Structure 1
Amino acid sequence: MAISEPASDQRRAFVLDLPQRLVCLLDGASASHGRASLLLVVVALVAFLPGFFQISPIDRDEARFAQATKQMVESGNFVEIRFHTQARNKKPVGIHWLQAASVTAGEAVIGPSALTSIWLYRLPSLLAAVGAVLLTYWTALVFLSRRGALLAGLLMASCVLLGVEARLAKTDAVLLLTIIACFGALARAYVRPRAERTGDFRLAFIFWTAMAAGILVKGPMTPLFVGLAIVALAVVERSGSVLRPLRPLVGLVWCLLLVLPWFVAIWFATKGAFYQHAVGVDMLGKVTEGQEGHWGPPGTYFLAVWGTFWPSVVLAAMAAPFAWRARRDEKVRFLLCWLVPTWLLFEIAATKLPHYVLPLYPALAILGVMAIERGALARAGSRLAGLVWLWPVLAILVSLGLGGAYLWFGSGFGLAAWPLLALAIALLWMAARAFPRVGPEGAVLTAIAGALVLYTAVYQAMLPQMRALWISERLAAVVKEQGCPAANVSSFPYQEPSLVFLVGTDINYVLPNEAAALMKKGGCSLAFMDERFTGNFEKHAAAHGLKYHAVATISGFVYNGGRLTAITVYRSDDAPAGSGAAR
């Protein structure tokens, strides 16, 4: 007669089985660079693709970048950057060129609808985010075994902040790609013995080409991240020989050849206004004052990293004592010079946005895995083991918060999301339970699996269905239904960048009296009026003798202003009316 195992033993075996299987998967994938790269690409796509095609344009930065690119494609002017009726002299042109190439290729396949298909504008960010994961692996090979480098790449692939940036049509994922490429080349130059630090054209080409690309994407940010690390290395080594393999003189000339043509062209095109605003207002303003309400005290990034680098931040935090003890180790010193000076600078700067420190996260990932490979986490014992419960605790908090938001803003009950949220929490609980039994690798891999499930629930099953958030998308649907040209559409005071992108560049952002005057000109015309200003609009419409009627009311939540709104869509009676109802 067979004796059954006690229930507690069965549960323990279940908790340990998945982490051990994931460790075996890591072992198998690290057998070759090809297998490792394939696994990283697959995991990155599983992390980044949910919601990529479905989520509406996000206000305000993403929609501004996308609209500026759309106007480039519409006008054929690929030098000047404009948003709606104004010059957008903030960031260089690199991201717009990448997005324009994506949209132009999309037009050839899907036709004119490519211009308002936000996923095409996001494609450079997605590809750059996947590339950043692969370059984290490439850079980590300088410091870790192939197996460890693969784990470091997986830590970046599952990072919350990188997943957000992969889904946004703006600069930061591409900037990250350029910075990691620079650090990967710099690390290979640094670990050489000083006597062997001679010119290496391959490394120099990678470093300076990536530097030029970063400058074209976000101006001084790539030189800032890399330059501070080089200065720190030169100080601690009392030598600048780390730059010799990178051929600085020849490389600088190459970098200038790549970037100067556009910088000269934009000088003449804007008569110097681009530099006056981009440097004098945008860049310096972020250093001295919190622009657009994004101020934060020193320590803001230290607090934010617990959410933005989740779930990998647990491993990075547990590795902190190891990094301090091993700070004189050559490889640890390089990673600290990558991480510490720039982190301190951003903590001091007035403007605080979470994505500013994203290029420092690969160093955290590599340090975390280095602590595993050198046995530091095993020696740390139970003093830090409690941190692993941040995996399920934060997942529960996110699930509760987003679940409540979904019930308020969503369409239907969202049955698909709840099982996924439950599975994610179960996996993250399993990861925390497994940590002392199977070790950090199996626990971290299980946490990554739980994070991937959580991202699918949030981005694929929940956010696209929160219709109250996507006001511009619903207003654009009314315009399409009514068949009015963008030039005959006006809006007040709801004037988000996403509305320009989805309705059309010619939309009018005007006051209620101007909206009434525009509708009086005849033809198919619409006016969007917030409920606070409908009386004002109706008064001016009466003064103009305008005949009109309401065709729809769009109720929702303006997440930038944090307020509920109801927008009435008015249509002139001078043209045949389409159907319309409250949406």
Structure 2
Amino acid sequence: MTKFLDGPFAATFGYLILFCLCLVLFLPGMTTLPPFDRDEARFAQASRQMLEEGDYIRIKFQEQDRHKKPVGIYWLQAASARLTNPEALWPYRLPSVLGAVLAVLLTFSLARRAMDIRFALAAAALLACTILLVTEAHLAKTDAMLLASITAMQVALARCYIRPADQQPEPWLWLLFWGGMGGSILLKGPVGPMISGLTLLTLFIADRRAPETITYGRFAWLSGLRPKAGLLLTAAMVLPWLIAVSLATDGSFVSDAVTGDLLPKLISGHESHGAPPGMYLLLFTLTFWPGSLLAWPTLVQTWSLRKTDRLVRFLWAWIVPSWIVFELVPTKLPHYVLPMYPAIALLIGVWLATLTQRAAHPGVSSTTAGSPGRFATWIPKIGAGLWLAIGVVLGIGLIVAPLYLDKAFSWWGVLAALIVLAMTALAWRAYQEGRMTQVCGILLLGAVLVFPVILGKGLPELRGFWVSRAVLQTVDSLRREHPDLSGLVASTGFQEPSLAFLLGTPTRLVNHLDAASHLLEHPNGLALVESRQEQRFHEAVGNLGLDVERLAIIRGFNYSKGQWVTIGFYAAARQ
């Protein structure tokens, strides 16, 4: 491999390595993992309804308008499903895979121009292996493609910022920046422009205080972005749909998105997702796992480099202000800070390159060597301790989870646990001995081995974890036994969106009264009744003078609510 990385086609070979790595990490489980509740199921179902109804302007989940996010991801998912299989789930996940791959390759495209290609590969590969990105790549949601759009914007900005003063920017960078901005707005509204805007604002403020040797012109580096043409491009991408949806919904989409989704998140913990400031920092060791073992010392050691290294300066301007904003916003979900992860991965590449340079020239005083204060030296120690604890807990959890959920032993869980524990032990030992490049290799190898096992085999085979899949299997079995039970399904008590995707758009998610009425109106239908609603359901059935019979019962763990559920399958009594 060294021969290829030193040759004339090193960059091409690097892209190929990363592409293959992404396929290994992101594809296992793509076709076997059932829909996750609740966001993934809602996105996939809304995209499928676009195909069913032929309406590509309005966004709906069953009969309910979904005025939350712009249309970008729905169009991508609908196009993917139309070209493949609209009834399966995996086509709706393909845009997320594409977004994750693009984010990794874009990160590498910036890294290879600023550091040795080996460390550029390491940085991009660590991003690909983070548990948060691997998870988002498997979900039919907005965030992986949003990451690609924001990374495109930031890479274009960074390429302009770090270029030598006597070198002209590439003529296509403005397309990358403004195209990424248009894509990010169509995917998630103001998030992309906010992150790039905060990066620019931070650089403008910081550069005013910096010597000319680090800024060389301060604002001249923006000349390659062509703002007039760029704004026209972004407007051409966004305005047609925005006008169309405003006309189709009498202006309610924008007002509902702002007052019903955006503002509540800024004011309080929306939909029970509130958390205090500092939560993302506390979760970082887990969400950036396994690379977080290297991230903590990187963040400490590269902070001082922002004064002399333009790339590091840009990366910190990318991370800090946006991270602070997300920490201050009351509503918090782990994936909100994902757009800053490429910058953190790039900083790790810079730090590994610095360590290698210092090891090769031990007698030379390096200007890139950070000098953290006494308090800062404790940060990597605390982060490493958390990382060690997460590795041990995760390894044990992979064995315990099947025993708890299925009352059964899983050899796939054992295999995954052994990989995690071995990786934890080997990486910890190398880390304690200061062999950071070996730590990086161990982490990457461990991720490549463990994620396909967990996502390709371990998770899909957990029976008790996938209640909606068990419901689908039971409904299919009952219909084979009773061919007359071909009518619609109504569910009360268990109303997760994945039911609508698996059982079909007409599936009714109702209360106990409507579930009883459903059997009266549809004698060939089924009613699913969670045990907590069973007494009220029977009272409603009795008031209607209807005889029902329970044909089956299942039990599983509803992870959305964190509780066990028992579901009975009822039909009108046969004469």
Question: What's the TM-score once normalised by structure 2's chain length?
Answer: 0.89
**Shift, 1:28, TM fit:** 7.0
Instruction: Provide the C-alpha distance between the structure 2 equivalents of 1:387 and 1:105, rounded to a whole number of angstroms.
Output: 45
SS state at 1:453 partner: helix
2:489 is matched with which residue? 489
1:443 is matched with which residue? 439
Distance 1:338-1:29 versus aligned 2 partners, 3 A rule: farther
User: Which of 310, 324, 327 does residue 306 from structure 2 map onto?
Assistant: 327
SS state at 1:490 partner: strand
2:243 is matched with which residue? 264
SS state at 2:200 partner: helix
1:211 matched to 2:191? The reply is no
More displaced stretch, 444-453 vs 148-157: 444-453
Distance 1:56-1:488 versus aligned 2 partners, 3 A rule: same
More displaced stretch, 513-522 vs 214-223: 513-522
Letter of the structure 2 residue corresponding to residue 211 of structure 1: M
Instruction: Provide the C-alpha distance between the structure 2 equivalents of 1:468 and 1:569, rounded to a whole number of angstroms.
Output: 17
Superposed counterparts of 1:456-467, under 5 Å = 456-467=452-463
User: Percent same amino acid at aligned positions?
Assistant: 37
1:226 is matched with which residue? 196
2:567 is matched with which residue? 567
SS state at 1:416 partner: helix
Instruction: Provide the C-alpha distance between the structure 1 equivalents of 2:384 and 2:451, rounded to a whole number of angstroms.
Output: 19
1:372 matched to 2:344? The reply is no
SS state at 1:179 partner: helix
Instruction: Provide the C-alpha distance between the structure 1 equivalents of 2:319 and 2:78, rounded to a whole number of angstroms.
Output: 33
Distance 1:225-1:26 versus aligned 2 partners, 3 A rule: farther
SS state at 2:549 partner: strand
2:104 is matched with which residue? 133
Instruction: Provide the C-alpha distance between the structure 1 equivalents of 2:204 and 2:188, rounded to a whole number of angstroms.
Output: 25
Query: Do 1:139 and 1:183's aligned partners in 2 also have CA atoms closer than 8 Å?
Result: no
Query: Do 1:94 and 1:217's aligned partners in 2 also have CA atoms closer than 8 Å?
Result: yes
SS state at 1:316 partner: helix
Query: Do 2:99 and 2:137's aligned partners in 1 also have CA atoms closer than 8 Å?
Result: yes
1:408 is matched with which residue? 404
2:513 is matched with which residue? 513
Alignment length, in residue pairs?
545
More displaced stretch, 207-216 vs 451-460: 451-460
User: Which of 311, 322, 343 does residue 363 from structure 1 map onto?
Assistant: 343
Instruction: Provide the C-alpha distance between the structure 1 equivalents of 2:386 and 2:429, rounded to a whole number of angstroms.
Output: 12
1:337 matched to 2:317? The reply is yes
Superposed counterparts of 1:244-283, under 5 Å = 244-283=223-262
Distance 1:302-1:312 versus aligned 2 partners, 3 A rule: same
More displaced stretch, 134-143 vs 457-466: 457-466
2:540 is matched with which residue? 540
SS state at 1:261 partner: helix
Distance 1:165-1:293 versus aligned 2 partners, 3 A rule: same
2:156 is matched with which residue? 185
Instruction: Provide the C-alpha distance between the structure 1 equivalents of 2:349 and 2:17, rounded to a whole number of angstroms.
Output: 17
Query: Do 2:5 and 2:11's aligned partners in 1 also have CA atoms closer than 8 Å?
Result: no
SS state at 1:402 partner: helix
Query: Do 1:476 and 1:502's aligned partners in 2 also have CA atoms closer than 8 Å?
Result: yes
1:349 matched to 2:345? The reply is no
SS state at 2:140 partner: coil
Instruction: Provide the C-alpha distance between the structure 1 equivalents of 2:387 and 2:532, rounded to a whole number of angstroms.
Output: 44
Cα deviation 1:409-431 (Å, max 9, x = unaligned): 13731123213321332133222
Instruction: Provide the C-alpha distance between the structure 2 equivalents of 1:29 and 1:421, rounded to a whole number of angstroms.
Output: 39
Cα deviation 1:195-220 (Å, max 9, x = unaligned): 6567x541111111111111111111
Instruction: Provide the C-alpha distance between the structure 1 equivalents of 2:128 and 2:3, rounded to a whole number of angstroms.
Output: 16
**Shift, 1:490, TM fit:** 1.0
SS state at 1:528 partner: strand
Cα deviation 1:203-260 (Å, max 9, x = unaligned): 1111111111111111111111111101111222244333220101111011101111
Distance 1:441-1:435 versus aligned 2 partners, 3 A rule: same
SS state at 1:468 partner: coil
Distance 1:29-1:475 versus aligned 2 partners, 3 A rule: farther
Query: Do 1:190 and 1:242's aligned partners in 2 also have CA atoms closer than 8 Å?
Result: yes
Query: Do 1:516 and 1:541's aligned partners in 2 also have CA atoms closer than 8 Å?
Result: yes
**Shift, 1:380, TM fit:** 7.9
2:554 is matched with which residue? 554
**Shift, 1:297, TM fit:** 1.1
Cα deviation 1:347-391 (Å, max 9, x = unaligned): 111111111110101111111111121228867899858965665
Query: Do 2:4 and 2:10's aligned partners in 1 also have CA atoms closer than 8 Å?
Result: no
Query: Do 1:29 and 1:39's aligned partners in 2 also have CA atoms closer than 8 Å?
Result: no
Letter of the structure 1 residue corresponding to residue 122 of structure 2: L
More displaced stretch, 551-560 vs 240-249: 240-249
**Shift, 1:280, TM fit:** 2.0
1:308 matched to 2:287? The reply is yes
Query: Do 1:391 and 1:432's aligned partners in 2 also have CA atoms closer than 8 Å?
Result: no
Instruction: Provide the C-alpha distance between the structure 2 equivalents of 1:219 and 1:422, rounded to a whole number of angstroms.
Output: 42
Instruction: Provide the C-alpha distance between the structure 2 equivalents of 1:438 and 1:221, rounded to a whole number of angstroms.
Output: 38
1:525 matched to 2:525? The reply is yes
Letter of the structure 2 residue corresponding to residue 57 of structure 1: P
More displaced stretch, 392-401 vs 555-564: 392-401
Structure 2 residues not aligned, in runs of 5+: 209-217, 360-368, 372-376
User: Which of 73, 77, 92 does residue 121 from structure 1 map onto?
Assistant: 92
Superposed counterparts of 1:149-160, under 5 Å = 149-160=120-131
Letter of the structure 2 residue corresponding to residue 409 of structure 1: L
What is the root-mean-square deviation in Å for CA atoms of aligned residues?
A: 2.5
Query: Do 1:66 and 1:169's aligned partners in 2 also have CA atoms closer than 8 Å?
Result: yes
**Shift, 1:62, TM fit:** 0.6
**Shift, 1:90, TM fit:** 0.4
More displaced stretch, 24-33 vs 467-476: 24-33
2:374 is matched with which residue? none
Instruction: Provide the C-alpha distance between the structure 2 equivalents of 1:363 and 1:131, rounded to a whole number of angstroms.
Output: 15
Structure 1 residues not aligned, in runs of 5+: 1-22, 108-113, 576-583
More displaced stretch, 318-327 vs 247-256: 318-327
Distance 1:333-1:246 versus aligned 2 partners, 3 A rule: same
1:473 matched to 2:473? The reply is no
More displaced stretch, 273-282 vs 72-81: 273-282
Distance 1:26-1:560 versus aligned 2 partners, 3 A rule: farther
2:18 is matched with which residue? 40
More displaced stretch, 543-552 vs 440-449: 543-552
